[in-house]
Each structure stands twice: as C-alpha cells, then as structure tokens.
Amino acid sequence: MSRYLKYSSLELKENAKPTILPQPKKTYYLEVFRRLGICGGPCVPFCLDDEFKTQFKDGYKGQSTVCFGGRVVMGQVWNVASTAFMMLMPGLYYLYYVVPRALPPDGWNSFLGVSSRIMSYIIMGAFLLSSFSNPGIVPRNASRPKDLKTDHLRNTPVPRYLRINERCVKQKYCQTCNVYRPPRSKHCQFCDNCVLRFDHHCTWLGNCVGLNNYRYYTTLIYTASFYLLQCEWVIFHVLGEVEEKSNDWGLMEIFGPFWQEPKLIFLLVYCFVLLVAVLLLSVYHTVITLQNLTTNEHVKNYYTGANPFDFGWQANCRQIYCMPELVVAKGEDQLEMDYVPFGSFSEPLSLDDC
C-alpha cells in the first residue's frame, strides 16, 4: 500500500529529478500468509509505518468500519447478510438434497461429491474475503495540509500531473479525504472513502472491489461459474431420472417433473439466472484483466490512446493476481510530478474522476 501512497506525498517536487522506487522483493509463501494476516506481524499493505502515520493523520474514516489495523472492513453489513442468505439456502438444499440423488455408488468420495464440496468452500471463503477485506482504503487527513498549493481565486487545490510509463495523467485532490488521490483511485460515494485501484462498488458484497480484494472477487465469480454449470447438469440429471421412473406418456411424460419436483424446477431456474450473470462477469473481468483495466476505467473510457498500465497480458496478470501492490507491472516506479501537463498529456487521459 505504501508504494501507492508515495504518489500522494506532498514532498514530491515539481520539475525535480524523478524519485525511483525499486521493485520489491518477491513474495514467498510465508510473506503471502503474513500479508493475508494469517500469521505473525502486521498486515503489510495496510499497516501504516511512521512516515505515513505522519502524513495521514486522521487514519481510516468514512462509512466503513475498519478493524484490526486495517485488515478487516465492514461496509453495508445488511447487504452482505442478504447475499449470504440467498447463497446459503439454495446451496445447502442443493448439497444435501439434490447432489445425493445424483451420486454414484461411491457416494461423496466420487468426483461429483468432492468437487461440489471443494467449490462450496472456495465460494464461501472468497465471498467472505471479498466482503470483509480492506479493498485499499486511502487514509485521510483531518484538514487540508498547510503547504498545499491552491488556486487563490477559487481557494481550491490545484491538480497535479504525473508521468507514468511515458504517459501523463492528471491527479486530482480529494477535498473529502484531503489527499491527492493515488493513481487509479476513486472516491466511492457509498463507502465515502478513496479506494486504491478502484474497480467498482459491489452492492451484493457491501464493499468496494479494489486493490486488495479484486483477486478474491474474481476467484468468487470464476468458481461460481463452474459450480453453477455443475448445478445445472446435476439438476437435469435428477429430472431425467424422475422422467424415466414416471408412468406417464406423451406430454405428461415431458412435463411430469414440473409438478412432481417443483423445488428442483425453481432451483434450476434460479441457478440459470445466476449462471448467466456470473458467466458474463467472468468473461468481462477476464477481458479487462488482460488489458490491465479496472471496471471504472473501462466504463468511462479513460484511455483513448495507450494504457500506461498495460505491459502485456502476462505481466498484467502477474501484477494483478500475484503482486497487486505494484503500481506498474514492469520496471521501477519513477515518481515524476508537475503542476502543468507533460508533453504527452491529452484531456481524455486526465482521469478526472480518479
């Protein structure tokens, strides 16, 4: 997180020699667990060191409740509860009523039984991590810093311009959080927080999807897609067996399962609607991930020219899923700032809403 926050520092000088941030060391297994807060030490991406505690004096505010040093964020809890209810009730019915009817003689040890349980655990884990992880909330200042450069006529902070990968982007000052928003950040109107690498605010999760929980979100929709495809196949298989055992004939044989198994029919339709939704989400997020875009950037068409964060699909995926704390996928971060646009600047690249 600190790498992104350095782009907000007021210590950056205009027309100065670029400040170089070297690539961080590779993240090994123990470091992965530590970053997730599973074992030992502070949660590195969201634990402010002394430098940033001095810069961001008001810490975490806004509508979200931030706990455990920034590890846990609780947004719209009722939204999370309602989504969990809509997942758990049909899911439990499917696992403990529908799946046993389709299991082969070896039962839960079969591929169907094992895969159903594994995907259920992954979905619930990804859902909880997406809903309660810190998406990348930018700590705020209680008041406007004294040394802030302002437009004296309007008494508003002037925007800054950053050069990233030889492209110029506009950096706006957030007057709610009293910080210069780091690259790709946006102030969420629902959570009332600036969020790093803001993708979108998910009503179903009651939380923003951003830098730290985007991986969990994509894990959720990808796994749910496979799970729902399996659900559809299993339900059709069970309905086929019901039809074979029926003594009806003609149209009665075809439509018999509809009134013999109304719960299965309802579950079939319910899963189909969800399947269409998550499949579309999976395809969409696969496409924007390969281009290193967020939903916010793609929908608002920020980059009409070259995307300064696109380094090819392999580097993009490695950055997003393995080392999201990186601002650029390759090379060293060069912090170069000015209060007038660089030569490569064009208004469509301004990221005015960032």
Q: Quickly tell me which residue has 């001095």 as its tokens.
A: 54
pTM for the whole structure: 0.85
CB atoms within 10 A of CB 193: 31
Residue 2: which pLDDT band, with cuts at 50, 70 and 90? Answer: low
The answer to whether the beta carbons of residues 115 and 231 sit under 8 Å apart is: no
Pairing outcome for strands 200-202 and 207-209: antiparallel
Mean pLDDT across the stretch 84-109? 87
Quote helix, strand, coil % in the chain, to nearest 5. Answer: 45, 15, 40
Cα 173 to Cα 183: distance, rounded to the nearest angstrom: 12
Cα 207 to Cα 195: distance, rounded to the nearest angstrom: 11
pLDDT of residue 30: 46
pLDDT of residue 245: 63
Mean pLDDT across the stretch 102-126? 88
The per-residue pLDDT for range 260-300, each reduced to its tens digit, is 778 888 999 999 999 999 999 999 999 999 999 999 999 98
